[in-house]
Structure 1
Amino acid sequence: MVNKLEDLDFTGKITVEELLLILKKEASDISMTDIMTAHTYLVAEGKYVQGNYREEYLKAYVKGFILRLKEIKNNQNKFKGTVNACELKEAVELLNEQEQMLFKIRSKESHFFKIYKIISIYTTFVLDEPIHIVGTPFPGNLKVKYENGTYFCPVKEKQKDNPNAVCGFCIAEQDENV
């Protein structure tokens, strides 16, 4: 059995079930210390967020990233179908490039990034949901929304070419009202 995302055979079919098993394995390798360090990092980064939505921002990130680890570990749903191996490969490569860049610049982010990587792949390719949960706030009192079966992000268009963003493989569409 493949134990890491990087070890997947991206030339063949990858089932959602197979991907979930790998993500469960990777999530189980994250320690409580990693989780506490990631939480501390999020709180520290929150100081740069505008005060009027800092608390909502932190709740969204803790719920959307840290608490989802437990969801992955305990997920007993049976998923059918396959993932788009090409898109998954591109997502894994992008996340690996971001990880390498972060290690060179700020290694204190590595604990959060491990979680971020797992959750980004999980939400996109297993749950078919956006990486940021519905309600995640952005500057200007903007939020990720879900309307009529479609997820909308207020910043996707502005971030799609940002090499530090995962917007390129997130399933949310640009909120045209922004």
Structure 2
Amino acid sequence: MTMDVPIFPILINPTFTILDHQQWIGRLAYIFFGIILPPSIPKFYLSTRTDSGQIIEEVLMPVDTTDLFNELCVVEDQESLLIVLKRWANRYSIFDLVQAQGFTAKELKNLHPPSYIKELSWKHSEWLIATIKEIRSAHLQKRETMNLEEYYDFIERIRENLIKAEDRVERDAQTLYSLCAAYHLFITKTPVHMVGTPFPGGFKVQKIGEEYFCPVKEKQKDVPEALCKFCVAKQLKI
């Protein structure tokens, strides 16, 4: 079966130029080899026929976001949370990650200047790949008491964001990012955005000593869609 692979250049070409099919596969294989790429890439298709008779095949995400969210809703402690995160992180394929990055590309395309888009795109890609890789091999070094009230407040925030999703692609991307955020917030106790993530004005997330600082913590913590209120980072003095 011939497969027209969707092109999401953000992951490998932040200037958003369209890549040739073989270039796309080659670069992805290079980036993911030994990290995310499974022994055999599962093929999930949705075939639709246009009015002209052309058959269009869409690669579907093999992860059922509803099931993942439901499992996150019954977590009782760090151990049960990590079990859920590890199981689902291992189910995400290279195509899932690229599709999520395609959603992010659309979200970032209207930002300025282009150099900021490029830097933020690469940092986001680095964050996503590194987090999934880390979750897959993670083990609790020590069991800490998890603030379940805060955790379920976080879950409610995720639920509200998923309800607002305009389509399946956005919902799937939001679920994947929520999985990664849950790992950082409640397992490693690290910021949602990795150190070095840029924000407008030239400021970045920083780690000073053992503490993390974010340039937009105070500004964003009350934004309904944001996860900043749950983040361990403190406001960076600017």
Matched with 1:19 is: 81
Which residue is 2:191 aligned to? 130
Q: Which residue of 2 aligns with 1:30?
A: 92
Q: CA deviation at 1:29?
A: 3.4
- In structure 2, stretches of 5+ residues that fail to align are 1-67
Alignment-derived partner of residue 6 in structure 2 = none
- Residue identity in the other structure for 1:134: V
- For 1:123-162, list aligned pairs within 5 A: 123-162=184-223
Identity of aligned residues (%): 34
Q: Measure how far apart 1:164 and its partner are.
A: 0.9
- Equivalent of 1:8 in 75, 78, 81: 75
The DSSP-based 3-state class of the residue aligned with 1:109 is helix
Asked if the contact 2:206/2:212 (under 8 Å) is kept, the reply is: yes
Partner SS, residue 122 of structure 1: helix
Q: 1:54: Cα distance to partner?
A: 1.6
Moved more, 150-159 or 61-70: 61-70
Matching residue of 2:117: 54
Unaligned runs of 5+ residues in structure 1 are none
RMSD: 1.9
Q: Quick one: which of 112, 123, 134 aligns to 1:71?
A: 134
Name the TM-score, length of structure 1 as normaliser.
Answer: 0.86
1:44 alignment counterpart: 106
Residue identity matched to 1:42: T
* Greater CA drift, 36-45 or 155-164: 36-45
Alpha-carbon distance between aligned partners in 2 of 1:45 and 1:159, rounded to the nearest angstrom: 17
Does residue 158 of structure 2 align to residue 95 of structure 1?
A: yes
Instruction: Figure out how many residues of one structure are paired with residues of the other and give that number.
Output: 169
Q: Structure 1 residues 91, 65: CA separation in 2 closer, same or farther (over 3 Å shift)?
A: same
**Is the CA contact 2:85–2:135 (under 8 Å) kept in the aligned structure 1?**
yes
Between stretches 132-141 and 112-121, larger displacement belongs to 112-121
- Which one has the bigger helix percentage? 1
Q: Which structure ranks higher in relative contact order (CA pairs < 8 Å, sequence separation ≥ 6)?
A: 1
Match of residue 167 from structure 1: 228
**SS of structure 1 residue aligned to 2:213:** strand
- How high is the TM-score relative to the length of structure 2? 0.65
Amino acid at match of 2:153: E
1:154 Cα offset (Å): 0.6
